[in-house]
């Protein structure tokens, strides 16, 4: 059973992952900057308080984090309290290598040799993999050195951040917008880079970015 402490620690960890303070995180979500302050975590009677579902929802939507990913952070907090290690080793390569042959099958699942490994908490997906960001094409959301966690098995909805590999070997990180029978329209994470409108016949696979590890 998760406690108040697990949820608050998970919020603090979420802020750490994006290299911002809890106050800045609240402000970005349109909340009062003091929403997640230590003083708000208990009442005047000393009893522990929960963050509101509205404030939690606004923060997760602003940062592009699913509730399942947040729950994994909270579960990791609980596991640490009981001395339990959670998670799995996840294959990782540099983004610059992802366009080469031999690293993925036709569905976008990692295969072959040449992968390193990192430990990711809360993993329940056998096909998940990580790419280390190089360059500025995903700034300011993802920065050079960050590791994006990608799941070929995850469903994709409008507004999700996705990784696309084309049949020519190009690897793109974009925001999924719309798709019809012949084309997929992608918005850019970095506004300095153009949108893309790709013929589906040119797309080898597309997978959702589910997390970022700094």
pLDDT digits (tens, 9 = 90+) for 41-54: 887 777 888 889 99
pLDDT digits (tens, 9 = 90+) for 132-180: 998 777 777 888 888 898 999 888 999 999 999 999 999 999 999 999 9
80 has a pLDDT exceeding 60: no
Query: Which top CATH class is 4-81?
Result: mainly alpha
Decide which of 124 and 151 is more confident. 151
pLDDT digits (tens, 9 = 90+) for 6-58: 888 888 888 887 778 888 899 889 999 889 888 788 877 778 888 899 999 99
For domain 88-213, give the CATH superfamily: Umud Fragment, subunit A (2.10.109.10)
Could you tell me if 214 and 19 are in contact, meaning their C-beta atoms sit under 8 angstroms apart? yes
Q: How many CA atoms lie within 13 A of 204 on its CB side?
A: 20
What pLDDT does 87 receive?
58
Beta-bridged to residue 206, according to DSSP, are 164
Decide which of 62 and 177 is more confident. 177
Decide which of 76 and 194 is more confident. 194
Domain boundaries in the chain?
4-81, 88-213
| pTM score | 0.60
Could you tell me if 161 and 173 are in contact, meaning their C-beta atoms sit under 8 angstroms apart? yes
Same fold for the pair 4-81 and 88-213:
no
∠ CA(187), CA(193), CA(194), 5° rounding?
55
Write out the DSSP string of 101-124: TTSB-TTS-B-SS--EEEEETT--
213 has a pLDDT exceeding 80: no
């Amino acid at each position: 059973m998760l406690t108040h402490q697990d949820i608050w620690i998970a919020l603090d960890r979420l802020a750490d992952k994006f290299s911002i303070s809890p106050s800045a995180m609240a402000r970005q979500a349109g909340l009062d900057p003091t929403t997640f302050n230590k003083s708000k975590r208990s009442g005047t009677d000393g009893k522990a308080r929960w963050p509101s579902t509205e404030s939690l929802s606004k923060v997760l939507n602003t940062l592009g984090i699913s509730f399942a990913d947040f729950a994994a952070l909270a579960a990791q907090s609980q596991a640490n309290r009981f001395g339990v290690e959670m998670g799995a080793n996840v294959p990782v390569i540099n983004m610059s290598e992802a366009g080469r042959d031999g690293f993925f099958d036709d569905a976008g699942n990692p295969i072959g040799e040449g992968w390193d490994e990192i430990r990711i908490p809360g993993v329940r997906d056998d096909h998940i993999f990580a790419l280390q960001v190089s360059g500025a094409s995903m700034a300011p959301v993802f920065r050079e050195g960050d590791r994006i966690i990608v799941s070929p098995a995850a469903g994709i909805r409008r507004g999700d951040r996705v990784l696309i590999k084309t049949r020519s070997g190009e690897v793109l990180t974009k925001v999924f917008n719309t798709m019809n029978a012949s084309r997929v329209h992608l918005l850019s994470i970095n506004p300095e880079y153009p949108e893309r409108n790709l013929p589906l016949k040119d797309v080898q696979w597309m997978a959702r970015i589910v997390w970022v590890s700094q």
